[in-house]
Chain A
Amino acid sequence: MVSATGAIIADSVSKTFIQPDGGEVTALSGMDIRIEPGEFVCLIGPSGCGKSTFLRLVAGLIQPSSGELYLDGRRVTGTGADRGLVSQDPTLFPWLNVYNNVAYGLKIRKVFNERRADVQAYIDLVGLTGFERSYPHQLSGGMAQRVSLARALVNEPKILLLDEPLGALDAFTRMNMQDEILRVWTERGATMLMVTHDVDEAIYLADRVFVMTPRPAKIERVIPIEIGRNPNHGRSRDDPDFLLMRAKILQILNFTGHKHALEYNL
């Protein structure tokens, strides 16, 4: 199921930040990107290469210094409930319990009464049934991140922007959450734009992986992942194609064979 909306087009988008001392830092230069509706795209690259900046531009939290950014043919000028953002830090509102954190978007948009049932449905979806009355400080990091995901999902955004959402989680929770994200994506059909450091995660989830390099920050290569997905979960992580794809991406990112071997150094 692919929705008809949620296309992102970036037309030579650049973003320059001005430092307090007057110097300029170019976070992004001349990004040309076309993301189809309902596509799952992962941005991968070393830290400091402007991945998060691009996500924040799409979210409308910051404006490009030059170039244009279009969402379904309309220019992005500010934030909107059609683009949900989940960042590495769950940033739950500490004064609201889990239920009210998830319900926040609906209440803000004054559709809570009609869609009351969805709040519980999404809490159940991320496996937090029974924690509705807990406050954020009583949750573990993984639980908080799942609340954050549910809070973005309940708004049913056309585009879900995921800024290293699983970075702080342990390996098992991480794999579970990857499957959760895939399931949500299949069911909802939203466009997914995810920033990650984890090559395996990118290959496991994405339709296309955008490999970025720093200084000058730009997209080095767009790699379509043409490995078939299993019906109930993502790709097999031990598929030879999977391993090949990983080697390819790591090579682009300038990790030599020596570094590659380190990954197996258990």
Chain B
Amino acid sequence: MIEAARVPAPAPHTGLPARLKAQSLLPLAAILVSFLAEVLLPNHEKLRNPDYTEFRYLLGILAAIFAALTATALWEERVRSASKSRLLLTVSSGALAALAAVRFGQIGLSKYAGFLYLSAVIGGLTFLLAAASFFAGRAREIAARPGWAVVSQLLFLLFVIVDHQALGAEGYAPVVYALTVIDILALLVGLVLTLVKDLARALAKRGVFIAALILFVGVVNVVTAKFLLLPQIYFPSISRIIHVYREEFNFLFLDCLLSSFILLCQGVGIGLAAGVATGVLVGWSQRWNYWLNPFVRILGPIPTSTWVPLAIVMFSRPRSAAVFVIAFGVWFQISILTASGIQNVKKTYYEVSSTLGATDTQNLFHIAIPDALPSIFLGFFNATCSSFAALVVAEMLGVKNGLGWYINWQKEMLSYPGVYAGLFIMAGFCYVFITIQFKVRDRLLSWQKGVIKW
């Protein structure tokens, strides 16, 4: 009896369960099917001249990535966990900071010096953290997070591309080349070693979904390029869409994406500041509520696009008008939710705070605003989502740049591959923007886990 009650010893780690291993194979199978369809069936698309084969490259790259991940998933127990690789990442950031310093000395303030600054600062910080991590526990924790290094590397890569485009290859001394290569290698090795197990696990769990997605893309390819089942003008083949990225990479990413990003940051930033200020005033003070609330209620719900004619008149520069249009929608949503958040603070919090010696002003900053933060973030989230729509409208205002403008321009040119190319960037852009926001929220509002859900 006693023997039977004994808890069995934990089995040695045997990697993922068989079902997950099988799932991790599915994406590779889907890639194979799509590839066979692409290669074996003849192309019929008349607008493809010369014959684009980008889809094959895409499948090739995907096959390489998924082969590595699937292998990791299948033999997970043999893959070593990578803690040293994180150090590698931080060291690579040190190289980056050095490189950025060298380049900065060489070119000084150029058009893209902002990137350089950012990447140098973040790289330098990461490097300092890595150095400090040998002495302090907390610093070691932070230095072990690959996020820092990844951000600095991305900025750096962006810089290298821009820099190379602007100055040409002559600007590059051999030492800079060497540092770049070392840095990128260290980054890649570190990144792969750090993330490969997590990625492989994610792949194994989402294998069916990823496979279905790849198959869908394969079917779209067959429908558009092989059998011409849809109007060619509006539904171009995948190869043609990818071709747009190859041809217009600089314009799409460095002009349009950057321009949209900056416009959005300006609009959302101004709207956020104004919205929180208005919301706090309306929610906190009876007198401000009396004067401001009618304006918020009457002006706020007016759709963003309605402001366009007025915005053009009010601002001399089209760019300012565009910022205004975005900021306005953001302002309204945030001020409404901030005000409601502040009005809904439990009265007993103020009472307790007062009996502990707080003044009215202290109650505002130490009770009302912290307690309203979840609500403010909800408003910020809603506002960000609708600001993407406002962005497209704003870019019509004579700002001949940006993703929204690009998509419209391509549509008018009946160049639908460009439309799709722009749409995908837009989707990725919005996704990243929202994700960052959620990360910030989770960090700022860690206390509300288990208290408030939305």
CB-CB under 8 A from B449, the residues of chain A are: 137
Stretch at the interface among B143-151, B284-292, B335-343, B364-372: B364-372
Assembly CA distance A61 to B367 (angstroms): 17
Whether B357 pairs with A108 at a CB distance below 8 angstroms is yes
Whether B351 pairs with A94 at a CB distance below 8 angstroms is no
Question: Can you name the residue of chain A whose Cβ is closest to the Cβ of B446?
Answer: A135
CB-CB under 8 A from B446, the residues of chain A are: 135
Residues of A73-128 at the interface with B, using a CB-CB cut-off of 8 Å, are 78-81, 83-85, 87, 89, 91, 93-97, 104-105, 108-109
Task: Please tell me if A196 contacts chain B, counting CB pairs below 8 Å.
Answer: no
Task: Please tell me if A51 contacts chain B, counting CB pairs below 8 Å.
Answer: no
Task: Please tell me if B382 contacts chain A, counting CB pairs below 8 Å.
Answer: no
How many chain A residues sit at the interface, stated as a range, is 20 to 34
Q: Knowing A87-B348, A89-B348 are in contact, say whether A94-B448 is a contact too (CB < 8 A).
A: yes
Question: Can you name the residue of chain B whose Cβ is closest to the Cβ of A61?
Answer: B351
CB-CB under 8 A from B81, the residues of chain A are: none
Assembly CA distance A78 to B354 (angstroms): 9
Whether B357 pairs with A91 at a CB distance below 8 angstroms is no
Assembly CA distance A81 to B358 (angstroms): 8
Question: Can you name the residue of chain A whose Cβ is closest to the Cβ of B371?
Answer: A95
Whether A91 pairs with B352 at a CB distance below 8 angstroms is yes
Whether B356 pairs with A105 at a CB distance below 8 angstroms is yes
Whether B451 pairs with A94 at a CB distance below 8 angstroms is yes
Provide the main secondary structure of the chain A interface.
loop
Q: Distance (Å) between the CB of B263 and the closest chain A CB?
A: 33
* Proximity bits, A57-79, B CB within 8 Å = 1, else 0: 00111000000000000000011
Q: Knowing A85-B351, A87-B348, A108-B366 are in contact, say whether A94-B357 is a contact too (CB < 8 A).
A: no
Q: Knowing A95-B370, A108-B362 are in contact, say whether A61-B447 is a contact too (CB < 8 A).
A: no
Whether A91 pairs with B349 at a CB distance below 8 angstroms is yes
Q: Distance (Å) between the CB of B451 and the closest chain A CB?
A: 5
CB-CB under 8 A from A59, the residues of chain B are: 351, 355
Q: Distance (Å) between the CB of A108 and the closest chain B CB?
A: 5
Whether A105 pairs with B450 at a CB distance below 8 angstroms is no
Task: State which of B349, B370, B451 has its C-beta within 8 Å of the C-beta of A137.
Answer: B451
Whether B447 pairs with A84 at a CB distance below 8 angstroms is no
Task: Please tell me if B67 contacts chain A, counting CB pairs below 8 Å.
Answer: no
Q: Distance (Å) between the CB of B370 and the closest chain A CB?
A: 5
Assembly CA distance A97 to B349 (angstroms): 15
Task: Please tell me if A155 contacts chain B, counting CB pairs below 8 Å.
Answer: yes
Task: Please tell me if A177 contacts chain B, counting CB pairs below 8 Å.
Answer: no
Q: Knowing A91-B348, A94-B448 are in contact, say whether A151-B355 is a contact too (CB < 8 A).
A: no
Task: State which of A91, A108, A137 has its C-beta within 8 Å of the C-beta of B450.
Answer: A137
Q: Distance (Å) between the CB of A180 and the closest chain B CB?
A: 20
Residues of B424-454 at the interface with A, using a CB-CB cut-off of 8 Å, are 445-451
Task: Please tell me if A152 contacts chain B, counting CB pairs below 8 Å.
Answer: yes
Whether A84 pairs with B355 at a CB distance below 8 angstroms is yes
Question: Can you name the residue of chain B whose Cβ is closest to the Cβ of A62?
Answer: B351
How many chain B residues sit at the interface, stated as a range, is 20 to 34
Assembly CA distance A91 to B352 (angstroms): 8
Question: Can you name the residue of chain B whose Cβ is closest to the Cβ of A90?
Answer: B352
CB-CB under 8 A from B358, the residues of chain A are: 108
Task: State which of B349, B352, B370, B447 has its C-beta within 8 Å of the C-beta of A85.
Answer: B352
Assembly CA distance A109 to B371 (angstroms): 20
Assembly CA distance A80 to B354 (angstroms): 7
CB-CB under 8 A from B367, the residues of chain A are: 93
Whether B357 pairs with A80 at a CB distance below 8 angstroms is yes
Task: Please tell me if B373 contacts chain A, counting CB pairs below 8 Å.
Answer: yes
Question: Can you name the residue of chain A whose Cβ is closest to the Cβ of B362?
Answer: A108
Whether B353 pairs with A85 at a CB distance below 8 angstroms is no
Whether A155 pairs with B356 at a CB distance below 8 angstroms is yes
Assembly CA distance A81 to B367 (angstroms): 17
Task: State which of B346, B353, B355 has its C-beta within 8 Å of the C-beta of A83.
Answer: B355
Q: Knowing A93-B370, A95-B370, A95-B371 are in contact, say whether A108-B448 is a contact too (CB < 8 A).
A: no
Assembly CA distance A152 to B356 (angstroms): 7
* Proximity bits, B243-282, A CB within 8 Å = 1, else 0: 0000000000000000000000000000000000000000
CB-CB under 8 A from A155, the residues of chain B are: 356-357
Residues of A150-203 at the interface with B, using a CB-CB cut-off of 8 Å, are 151-152, 155, 161
CB-CB under 8 A from A95, the residues of chain B are: 370-371, 373, 445, 447-448
CB-CB under 8 A from B357, the residues of chain A are: 79-81, 105, 108-109, 155
Assembly CA distance A108 to B357 (angstroms): 7
Assembly CA distance A108 to B350 (angstroms): 13
Whether A94 pairs with B356 at a CB distance below 8 angstroms is no
Q: Distance (Å) between the CB of A121 and the closest chain B CB?
A: 17
CB-CB under 8 A from B354, the residues of chain A are: 60-61, 78-79
Assembly CA distance A259 to B271 (angstroms): 65
Assembly CA distance A96 to B358 (angstroms): 16
CB-CB under 8 A from A91, the residues of chain B are: 346, 348-349, 351-352
Q: Distance (Å) between the CB of A100 and the closest chain B CB?
A: 10
Q: Distance (Å) between the CB of B43 and the closest chain A CB?
A: 61
Assembly CA distance A78 to B451 (angstroms): 32
Interface centre among A61, A81, A95, A96 (most CB of B within 10 A): A95
CB-CB under 8 A from A83, the residues of chain B are: 355
Assembly CA distance A85 to B348 (angstroms): 11
Whether A108 pairs with B356 at a CB distance below 8 angstroms is yes
Top 6 closest A-B pairs, CB basis? Answer: A81-B357, A105-B356, A79-B354, A85-B355, A95-B370, A95-B447
21 pairs, A vs B, C-beta closer than 8 Å? A61-B355, A79-B351, A79-B357, A81-B356, A81-B357, A91-B349, A93-B370, A94-B371, A95-B371, A95-B447, A96-B370, A104-B356, A104-B366, A105-B356, A105-B357, A108-B356, A108-B357, A135-B446, A137-B450, A152-B355, A152-B356
Binding site for A on B (CB under 8 A): 346, 348-349, 351-358, 362, 366-367, 370-371, 373, 445-451
Binding site for B on A (CB under 8 A): 59-61, 78-81, 83-85, 87, 89, 91, 93-97, 104-105, 108-109, 135, 137-138, 151-152, 155, 161
